[in-house]
Amino acid sequence: MQTRVVKTDDVELASEAFGNSDDPAILLIMGAMASMLWWPKEFCQRLAKQGCYVIRYDNRDTGLSTNYPVGKPEYSFDDMADDAVRVLDGYGISSAHIVGMSMGGMIAQLVALKYPERSRTLTLISTSPVGVDTAHLPGMTAAYTEHSASYADLDWSDRTQVIEFMLADVRAISSTRHPFDEQHARDFIETDYDRARRFESATNHFVISSGDQWKGQLPRLQAPLLVIHGASDPIFPVEHGREFIKIVPASKLVEIEGGGHELHPDDWDTMLEALIGHTMNIENMR
């Protein structure tokens, strides 16, 4: 594993790479409030063993990357898409297979639309289409909505409060098919909290915005698209994943039975088989 901090004039982006730099690159973009650690090391290593150069990084306001005062982010979703390309530039990579989860999936869509020459393929996990009216799609489940309501009363500078809230959150978004490992989840959340420069800054992800220039642009997506979506996702119900298939020609959907809004280890075989098949099919055509 290689670590690197990609620096530009106004931002530092902490990153890690797995595998051989001569192999095709896969860039992993994680979701709201989630550092790169939410792409598990073992997940990245398994991808690398399949002949991929895998890069994960901390989005702004997470982990060891640049953070901003709470409630005052000085960036937009478009800037976060630019960050993904900054990471590629930092590794000297001209193009990569782009993989995004949740909010990271929205960023990944912008990367593929804004920088088609840098995006070999696009894989979206547990996310929703950008620039599309999704009012007809189901929203968060009632149970998750009730849980998230406690967010407003949380003191994000209080380590104990935050860890208990995040633990409840991870439980709420977990698979309905596989067991929930509470101790593992707690240990991970504590590690993620203690590693961050300022964990509460990650709440800035809920107040950033993007311009209207992407409205209606998704059908022109050039990168071959794979969608992976949990059938029991409580944040973006599976209908959000199915919507891509209606919008983007020749896209593919893999539904994870009982899958939540997570990368559960028991689902990795299915996810990795789909992801490797998607990316290597394009590599074999190059």
Tokens 């209908």, located at residue:
239
* β-sheet bridge partners, residue 229: 255
Strands 25-29 and 53-57: parallel
Please tell me the pTM assigned to this model: 0.96
| E-state strands within the chain | 2-7, 12-18, 25-29, 53-57, 96-101, 119-125, 225-230, 252-256
pLDDT truncated to tens, each residue of the chain (286 aa)? Answer: 889 999 988 899 999 999 999 999 999 999 999 999 999 999 999 999 999 999 999 999 999 999 999 999 999 999 999 999 999 999 999 999 999 999 999 999 999 999 999 999 999 999 999 999 999 999 999 999 998 888 778 888 899 999 999 999 999 999 999 999 999 999 999 999 999 999 999 999 999 987 678 999 999 999 999 999 999 999 999 999 999 999 999 999 999 999 999 999 999 999 999 999 999 876 666 6
**Residue 43 is encoded by which pair of tokens?**
């997940």
182-195 and 159-172 are packed helices; what angle lies between their axes, rounded to 10 degrees? 130
* β-sheet bridge partners, residue 99: 28, 123
Q: Please, which residues have CB within 8 angstroms of residue 210's CB and are 6 or more apart in sequence? A: 76, 77, 78, 110, 130
Q: 270 with 278: CB under 8 angstroms? A: no
